Amino acid sequence: MEKKDALLIFGLDDNSSEKQIKDKYKVFLKMLKNNEVDNIQEITTAYNLLMGYENYDKLDPSSKSFKFRRFLFNYLSYIIIFLGLISLFVILIVPKLTEVKPDLSVSFVGSFFNLESDELEQTLYNNIEGLEKLVIEVIYLDIDTSDGEYDEAGRVKLAGLISTKEADIFIEDDENFVYLSSNEVLMPLDDIIPLLDLNIDESKLIRGRDPADGKIKIYGIDVSTNRKLMTTVYSGVIRIFSIAKETQHLDKALQASKLILEEGN
């Protein structure tokens, strides 16, 4: 077959682009699928000649090789999209699935800037049995601030921590204590404190009403003068210790509570 014959079959001229040839071939393949053409071998030979595929004209239309090439031609774009989605899954999702989640978190919630947590971190790692991954972090959230950027990031971070049930211990300022307790995020400590076997000053216990039964219960402990926490965040801010109501690591949270509260209260 000569090029002029191939162009005649495709109804094109010598100036036709590669895209026009491919588009016309797609039309022929659709016609083949609908049994509207019976000279597919001649069409394929013409296509290969126009595209410069020297060896393709030797392919048998009924062969697996021919059918595979035709499949790729028709569905290549879908295959590329599928492979792209797989790559995206591997890059974004797989690391999340294999990520080791912390088995204890201590979150400072409020207008805290400086966090010197090395000493506290070392104390908890050294004294809590089976502790493998500890997270100590500041969630900046100042209710009265005009700096919306910090607050917005803090709200998102706090909401994520609570919704994923990864919150264990909170050290918050008074405003955020009210916010967390009013949203039923905090665990009543009445049954927890006796387990700690600590002599905690009654004046440091902060109470609130349990919305479930209307009873007054302990939800926080004032740790503003706690010597361990004085070196962790800057002084001059009220700090209240609480435990997240839906903590998934109560045993480790209790051990950490004893270690944190045993000084300065």
Average pLDDT over residues 151-175: 87
Average pLDDT over residues 132-140: 89
**CA–CA gap between residue 12 and residue 10 (Å, rounded):** 5
- The first and second tokens of residue 110, run together, are 């409020």
Q: What percent of the chain is modeled with pLDDT above 70?
A: 78
- Render pLDDT for 28-40 as a digit per residue (tens, 0 to 9): 877 876 777 777 7
- Render pLDDT for 199-246 as a digit per residue (tens, 0 to 9): 898 989 999 988 888 899 999 999 888 877 776 665 567 889 999 999
Residue 108 has pLDDT above 80, yes or no: yes
**CA–CA gap between residue 78 and residue 174 (Å, rounded):** 56
Least confident of 63-67, 137-141, 255-259: 63-67
Residue 146 has pLDDT above 60, yes or no: no
In degrees and rounded to multiples of 5, residue 165 shows phi and psi of: 60, 35
What pLDDT, on the 0 to 100 scale, is given for residue 249? 92
pLDDT band at 143 (very low <50, low <70, confident <90, very high): low
- Render pLDDT for 180-207 as a digit per residue (tens, 0 to 9): 998 899 999 999 999 999 989 898 999 9
Average pLDDT over residues 70-83: 72
Residue 141 neighbours by CB under 8 Å, 6+ apart: 109, 110, 111, 150, 151, 154, 155, 158, 176
Domain ranges of the chain: 3-97, 104-261
Residue with more model confidence, 5 or 193: 193
Residue 46 neighbours by CB under 8 Å, 6+ apart: 1, 5, 6, 7, 9, 10
Residue 96 has pLDDT above 70, yes or no: no
SS3 of the chain: the string is: CCHHHHHHHHCCCCCCCHHHHHHHHHHHHHHHHCCCCCCHHHHHHHHHHHHCCCCHHHCCCCCHHHHHHHHHHHHHHHHHHHHHHHHHHHHHHHHHHHCCCCCEEEEEEECCCCCCCHHHHHHHHHHCCCCCCEEEEEEECCCCCCCHHHHHHHHHHHHHHHHCCCCCEEEECHHHHHHHHHCCCECCCCCCHHHHCCCCCHHHEEEEECCCCCCEEEEEEECCCCHHHHCCCCCCCCCEEEEECCCCCHHHHHHHHHHHHCCCC
Residue 10 has pLDDT above 60, yes or no: yes
pLDDT band at 2 (very low <50, low <70, confident <90, very high): confident
Residue 57 has pLDDT above 70, yes or no: no
Average pLDDT over residues 47-56: 70
- 184-220 burial code (b ≥16 CB/10 A, e <16): ebbbbbeebbeebeeebeeebbbebeeeeeeeebbbb
Q: What is the mean pLDDT of the chain?
A: 81
CATH numeric code, 104-261: 3.40.190.10
What pLDDT, on the 0 to 100 scale, is given for residue 125? 93
Residue with more model confidence, 137 or 150: 137
